[in-house]
Structure 1
Amino acid sequence: MLGLLGVALTRFPSSWWRVLASSWAVLLPVTASLTVLILGVLLGRRSTEEHQASAAPTAPDRQVHPLRSWVIPAGVTLVAVVTWAAAAWLQGSVPTVGDEVQRAQLRVESIRTGLTIGAAVTAAFALLLAFRRQQLAERSQQATEYDASEKRVTELYVKAADQLGSDKAPVRLAGLYALERLAQDNPIHRKSIAEVICAYLRMPYTPPHGQPAPTNQARANTDPTSLDPTDAREEDADDAAIDPREERQVRLAAQRILARHLRPTTHGGGTNPSYWGPNLALDLTEATLINADFGHCHLHNARFNNATFSGRATFGGATFSGSARFFGAEFGGDAWFRGVIFNGAAVFYEATFGGDIWFHNAAFNSTAMFRKAAFRGAAWFHFAAFSRAADFSAATFSGVVGFDKATFSGARDFERATLGGMRYGGPKSIVNITTKSSS
């Protein structure tokens, strides 16, 4: 390749070389300037593309290596060599014929031109050093902004967490909304903030049953002689306890915050600007959820093991990209799973459904586990698609069961299932099951 390039250069007419020689002092500075300009544009574009994803300050991601000890001497040597080579070449191009005075003037001009070329190379090195100095300054500024942002985020995070521990419901609500805003402005902290909200919902809680809280007048009418000091201390502790009716509102707000940021689209079908991404995992093990509404949410790995669903539970149109675990979950009211897509394992082992449950058009793309599940109301699986194994063994169906036009592409197991008090143990289908392969 280099040989071909050399041959091509020798083919240049001599007049071209004379033009290049006469214009050398102009071409070299222009070439150096263009090179520096192109490098600056490319590096600036790369920096912009790397940081345009988020408006929040980010940690410096490029390590700046210190200059090695030989760089400066090598640069000085290179400048000297280029200057000498240019001057020598230009000296050699001075014609040997003609007036002696003119030849002397040409030699002086060649030396001056060589020095100019050396100055141009020196200026190019100076520009590169200035560019590096600018990079260091920008990196230092970025690190300062990132540290200040992290400090502010940490302070807000700690303050919001302290508010969640307050015994006053408005303060706890303020803490939840502060965490929501913090996560919206700082995508890197969304996972940890979602975990904090889930941890709050996992705290023990008993929903109110409609009984009014005792009033001070009612306490005043109590015969003081019938109370002992132990009872008085217990009443004082009850007074300081969190009102379950107020706590209900706080928990509803926490559930709405999670659901609001797990929906990739709005009700109108547009993109949800507050969506926190598809890889957010929920761990609501043993949580008490009130009228839970995760409809049309995109859930990654969701854990609802031994969770208690008080009231209606809505998951219609949701997508579980990972596993959906409802091991031992208790649904106190109706449960709505219409059109849900389970891309991972759907585990409802020993789950209890107190009301009616709908799995219309649900897609089980992995294993469906309903072993020992208790269906106390109606169970509808119309048009449900089971792509892999479906285990309903030892399940109890106390109400109406509907598998109309449900499709089982893999193995199905209804051994020891109980239908309305009658145990099912045969290989035939219940209530019009459609299969694609024998099991």
Structure 2
Amino acid sequence: MKSTSASRELVSILLILLAGLALWRATAIAGWIDWPAFLGWIWRHGLLIALINAALIAVVLACRLLGIGRPGKTPPRLTWWMVAIAAAIVAGVTWGSTSWLLSEAIRATDPAAARVDAIKTGLSIGAATAGIFALLLAVRRQWHQEAAAADLSHDAGEKRITEQYTKAVEQLGSDKAHVRLGGLYALERVAQNNPAQRQTIVNVLCAYLRMPYTLPGEPLDDCADNDVISLYNERIQEREVRLAAQRLLKQHLTPQPEDMFWEEIDLDLTGAALINFQLVGAHVRTAMFTGASFHEGAYFIKTTFTFGPGFSGARFHSSANFVDCTFNRGGSFGDAQFSGMTLFRQSIFMGPALFIGATFADEAHFAGVKFTEGVQLDAAQFSGRANFSNATFSGECGFVGTIFDGPANFVGTTFNGDDPWLHSATFTLGTPREVLKVIQLHEKAATNEAATEGR
């Protein structure tokens, strides 16, 4: 990039020089400018012109050194050599202009009066030059004051945010449910008003949900003692606090409405106890649910995961809904336990999909799913119906040791990759006709390949 920029600057300089030469030649030919007379005038006034140029260059350099007009740059400390250079420039401009004016005064009709005027004018020019530097110092002082005020305002804002954040986190540690709820919404307000704090506050919400929690269980009998009732009520109240935290995540990880969306957020809910968890239409950068427990359903409908989410070892105690999800880097569901109906219909895995050792106690629907970079279902177990109709398998696929205890549907399924090792799977109710065709096709291909190599 630097070499390209330097080349462009060199080409620009050359073009400017060529344009200048062309303009000079055109004016010389046309006679618009008497160049010998013009150059003679410059020669006679060369000292003054040089001093004026030196003063202009000095002003530009002073602006750069003082940081004027460069936001975010700390004003440098004034040093003695800066003052010395400014004084030398003022003295030089004063002497040069006075000397030139005095030389011109000799040609006047009244040389004595002209010399007095020349001295006055030269001193005025020197004073004006000094005034320019004084103006630069005043501008620097004003800019410095504004920068200091902006820094104070920024520090005050940061301090206010920190105080609000600290107070809200303290509220989360209260033994009263309504105080904890207040802390959640206070954190949300801080995050909504300060985008830089959003990931930090999401981390706090996730940490809260990762805290150990036991569900209330079935409603109590009328004969339960007071201690049991008190514990039950505490769990009911904590359940509401956790549901509120989950709703906040759902609300701010959904792109619509746009002003409420928190983009590029990472979730770490490893080992969390989640209740009726919903991320419908959400966009998440990374999501870790390793070892998490999902109670009363899990809903990830139309959710987009930028990086592969981790659900290894997760337990879905009720239904799990991943319909129409997009896994941009695949996903890991190894050793996950699906107790209820599991839906992955129309989802897309654009990276490796890992279901090694996963168990499906109820129906599992993968109809229309696209595995573009392979899927591993080795040692997975389907106790209920397994529906892979119209699914597309590309890349490396594995069904080694997979057990299908219920009906298996592979109608319309497409295998674009290598041998998926379906012959190593166990179909308790009989191997589906579509699977047999795939097995026979790959066995025939393997036989032909072996015969070709034997020749």
TM over 0.5: yes
The answer as to whether partners of 1:401 and 1:431 remain within 8 angstroms in 2 is: no
User: In the aligned structure 2, how far is the partner of 1:246 from the partner of 1:10?
Assistant: 95
User: In the aligned structure 2, how far is the partner of 1:211 from the partner of 1:176?
Assistant: 27
Change (3 A) 1:158 1:437: same
Q: Percent identity?
A: 38
User: Which piece of structure 1 moves more, 132-141 or 72-81?
Assistant: 132-141
The answer as to whether partners of 2:280 and 2:300 remain within 8 angstroms in 1 is: yes
Aligned partner (choices 224, 230, 237) of residue 246 of structure 1:
237
Give how far 1:107 is off: 2.6
Alignment partner of 1:302 is 2:287 = yes
Q: Which residue does the alignment assign to 1:208?
A: 216
The answer as to whether partners of 2:397 and 2:417 remain within 8 angstroms in 1 is: no
User: In the aligned structure 1, how far is the partner of 2:68 from the partner of 2:417?
Assistant: 60
One-letter amino acid of the counterpart of residue 299, structure 1: V
Q: Which residue does the alignment assign to 1:409?
A: 394
Name the TM-score, length of structure 1 as normaliser: 0.78
The answer as to whether partners of 1:202 and 1:288 remain within 8 angstroms in 2 is: yes
Change (3 A) 1:401 1:421: closer
Name the TM-score, length of structure 2 as normaliser: 0.75
Give how far 1:290 is off: 0.9
User: In the aligned structure 2, how far is the partner of 1:16 from the partner of 1:261?
Assistant: 75
Aligned partner (choices 141, 148, 151) of residue 140 of structure 1:
148
The answer as to whether partners of 1:164 and 1:175 remain within 8 angstroms in 2 is: yes
Secondary structure at the aligned position of 2:80 is classed as: coil
Show the 5 A alignment for 1:107-118.
107-118=115-126
Q: Which residue does the alignment assign to 1:277?
A: 263
Alignment partner of 1:343 is 2:328 = yes
Unaligned runs of 5+ residues in structure 2 are: 1-12, 25-32, 420-455
One-letter amino acid of the counterpart of residue 11, structure 1: W
- Higher relative contact order structure (alpha carbons within 8 Å, sequence separation ≥ 6): 1
User: Which piece of structure 1 moves more, 111-120 or 374-383?
Assistant: 111-120
User: In the aligned structure 2, how far is the partner of 1:132 from the partner of 1:251?
Assistant: 54
Aligned partner (choices 156, 159, 173) of residue 167 of structure 2:
159
* Cα deviation code 1:255-314 (max 9, x no counterpart): 111121112223xxxxx1022222x11100011111111111111111000101111211
The answer as to whether partners of 2:331 and 2:352 remain within 8 angstroms in 1 is: yes
* Cα deviation code 1:216-236 (max 9, x no counterpart): xx548xxxxxxxxxxxxxx49
Secondary structure at the aligned position of 2:277 is classed as: coil
User: In the aligned structure 2, how far is the partner of 1:214 from the partner of 1:159?
Assistant: 39
Alignment partner of 1:391 is 2:376 = yes
Give how far 1:120 is off: 2.2
One-letter amino acid of the counterpart of residue 354, structure 1: S
Give how far 1:421 is off: 5.8
Q: Which structure dedicates a bigger proportion of its chain to helix?
A: 2
Give how far 1:241 is off: 8.2
Change (3 A) 1:210 1:66: same
The answer as to whether partners of 1:285 and 1:305 remain within 8 angstroms in 2 is: yes
Aligned partner (choices 323, 344, 356) of residue 371 of structure 1:
356
Alignment partner of 1:256 is 2:280 = no
The answer as to whether partners of 1:317 and 1:341 remain within 8 angstroms in 2 is: yes
Change (3 A) 1:139 1:204: same
Show the 5 A alignment for 1:56-75.
62-75=73-86
Aligned partner (choices 73, 89, 92) of residue 78 of structure 1:
89
The answer as to whether partners of 2:349 and 2:371 remain within 8 angstroms in 1 is: yes
The answer as to whether partners of 1:167 and 1:241 remain within 8 angstroms in 2 is: no
* Cα deviation code 1:371-429 (max 9, x no counterpart): 1111122222222111212101111111222222212221100111111269x9xxxx9
* Cα deviation code 1:138-165 (max 9, x no counterpart): 2221222222222222222221111111
Alignment partner of 1:434 is 2:421 = no
Give how far 1:92 is off: 2.8
Change (3 A) 1:131 1:12: farther
The answer as to whether partners of 2:285 and 2:305 remain within 8 angstroms in 1 is: yes
User: In the aligned structure 2, how far is the partner of 1:204 from the partner of 1:395?
Assistant: 29
Q: Which residue does the alignment assign to 2:35?
A: 11
Length, aligned pairs only: 383
Aligned partner (choices 302, 310, 313) of residue 298 of structure 2:
313
User: In the aligned structure 1, how far is the partner of 2:34 from the partner of 2:230?
Assistant: 100
